[in-house]
Each structure stands twice: as C-alpha cells, then as structure tokens.
C-alpha cells in the first residue's frame, strides 16, 4: 500500500521546509522527483530574490537553500531526481520547465503546488500594495500557472494528482495577513474547481491546510507570537514538515483515488475550540 513506484512528481518551492520534506517523502514512497525553486545553490546571479521579499533574501543569505542537495539525496535513494530553477509567476518559464521535465522523465503524475510567500504581515491600512500583488501572483496565480501547464500531460495519461498547499490562514483568517489569507482561501477555491474538472480524466485535486509547522521560516519568526500560536493548538506543539509530507504521499497514491476536492487539515487542531 501507498506505493508511488513508477510515478513522477514535481514539487514547487522545494529549496527548504515543506517543499524539501515533501520531495523526500515522495521519493521514499517510490516516486522520481523534480524539485523547482527560484533558489538553487549553484545559481550565483544575485537577483533571484529581489522581487520576492525579505524572507527569500534572508534564507539565501543564511544558506538555507537545499534544492540541489535534496535532488542528490533522492538520487542516493535510487530514484531519479533533478533540480530546476523556476519562477511560478513566469508562465513561459513554467511551460518550458514542464516540457523539459516531461522530456527528461517521460511523464508527470503528481504536482505539489508548494511555492509561496508568507512574509507580508501588516494590518490592512499598512499593507503594501506591491506586496499584495506579489502574494497574489506567487501564492494563487503561481499555483494556477503550474496546474494549467501540467493539465494536458495528466489528461493524456488519464491519471494525475494535484495537491495544493493552502493554510489555516485561508480558512480562519489571519490578523495582519490580508494578502496571505486571501490567496490561501483562493487556493482552496481553485482546488475545488480543478477537482470537478479533473474527475472525468482521473485527475484528483486536493488541498492540504497546514497549521503551525516548525519550518525554518516559522522558527525565524517572533518567539512570543510563536508561543501564542502553539498555545492555540490542541497538541500544544508545532507540527513537523514530515506531518505535511505524509499526508501528501497518501493523497498521491492509488489508495486515495476516490478523494478529491477536500481541504485536509494537518494542523494539530488549531481550528478547534481550544482553551
């Protein structure tokens, strides 16, 4: 059960955190994995993070970029893997990377839309208009771009799995997170529409709704705020990236063939009435 032998997965935003954990878990389940990100260790262009904000810049400056390293780790598991630079907001580049991936790997069975920004935190009157547009372009339109690019491949195969990364900020709202919450709510709407359209082609589409997960980005946040968020979860602790990855592996398998259009909370019960 839960084998992905013979399948090919593509994970966006795979340089660290959830994307890296997702890629490794899919490989351990037997899939070949393509990892994409705006950040590659070997890329020394220096301009990749300028338009993506302080979090991407901080991760790059700290060396928290493992895109190519993750691909190498997967290859040691005797799975095929490659790391491609891809900006999910660049439709032409997305099409080119998908075409390249299909040429090299033969097929694309699983798409994990993980690439996102989450560093725009300000009350509505202080939200930056340019960062609102950035978040829409990356978090929502980026998922749309990637899904649209792989859709013809999955239709031809008559098999596909699209797994979108939403957030409890999209289901509960988030104080000071108007742009992030709105885009993640939009991802859920996109998920349900793709589920309806994909069913006749044996393509499922589901959304993971993470709560507080102990990624590098979360750990770099305000400690007092982090403690407040942990206190709201039923488990009183953050989840691990692997908790998300395991749910993604399940949704990608044949065992989940009759599950589509769902919002799967992997949140430690943060959405429950805890006190």
SS3 content of the chain, % helix, strand, coil (to 5): 50, 15, 35
Cα distances from 156 to residues 72, 182, 186, 191, 201, in angstroms, run 30, 33, 27, 20, 9
Whether 272 is covered by a domain: the verdict is: no
Mean pLDDT of all residues in 37-45? 90
CA distance 227 to 56: 24
Residue 175 located in a structural domain: yes
Angstrom distance (rounded) from CA 31 to CA 159: 15
Q: Is residue 275 included in any domain, yes or no?
A: no
Q: What is the pLDDT of residue 99?
A: 98
CATH number, domain of 241, equals 3.40.50.720
Reported pTM: 0.95
Is the pLDDT confidence value at 48 over 60?
no
Domain presence at residue 50: yes
Assess contact for 129 and 96: CB atoms under 8 A. no
pLDDT at residue 177 greater than cutoff 60: yes
In a domain, 3, yes or no: no
Burial of 1 (0-12, 13-18, 19+ CB in 10 A): exposed
Q: Of these residues, 66, 144, 180, 258, which one is catalytic?
A: 180
Is residue 201 domain-resident? yes
169 domain residue, yes or no: yes
Q: Known catalytic residue: 180?
A: yes
What total of structural domains would you count in the chain?
1
Pairing label, strands 81-85, 32-37: parallel
- Lowest-confidence region among 57-61, 94-98, 193-197: 57-61
Residue at 274 is within a domain:
no
- Domain housing 40: 8-266
Distance, C-alpha 114 to centroid of its chain:
1
């Amino acid at each position: 059960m839960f084998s992905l032998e013979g399948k090919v997965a593509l994970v966006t935003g795979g340089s660290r955190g959830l994307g890296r954990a997702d890629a490794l878990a899919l490989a351990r389940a037997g899939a070949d994995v393509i990892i994409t990100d705006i950040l590659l260790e070997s890329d020394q262009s220096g301009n990749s993070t300028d338009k993506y904000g302080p979090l991407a810049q901080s991760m790059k400056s700290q060396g928290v970029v493992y895109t190519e390293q993750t691909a190498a780790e997967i290859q040691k598991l005797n799975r095929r893997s490659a790391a491609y630079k891809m900006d999910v907001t660049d439709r032409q580049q997305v099409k080119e990377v998908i075409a390249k991936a299909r040429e090299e790997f033969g097929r694309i069975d699983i798409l994990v839309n993980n690439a996102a920004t989450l560093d725009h935190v300000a009350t509505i009157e202080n939200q930056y208009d340019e960062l609102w547009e950035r978040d829409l372009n990356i978090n929502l339109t980026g998922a749309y771009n990637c899904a649209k690019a792989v859709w013809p491949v999955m239709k031809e195969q008559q098999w596909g799995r699209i797994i979108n990364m939403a957030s409890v900020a999209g289901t509960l709202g988030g104080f000071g997170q108007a742009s992030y919450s709105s885009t993640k709510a939009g991802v859920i709407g996109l998920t349900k529409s793709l589920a309806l359209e994909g069913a006749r082609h044996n393509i499922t589409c589901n959304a993971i709704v993470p709560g507080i997960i102990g990624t590098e980005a979360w750990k770099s946040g305000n400690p007092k705020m982090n403690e407040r968020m942990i206190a709201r979860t039923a488990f009183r602790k953050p989840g691990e990236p692997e908790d998300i990855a395991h749910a993604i592996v399940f949704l990608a398998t044949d065992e989940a063939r009759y599950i589509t259009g769902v919002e799967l909370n992997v949140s430690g019960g943060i959405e429950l009435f805890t006190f």
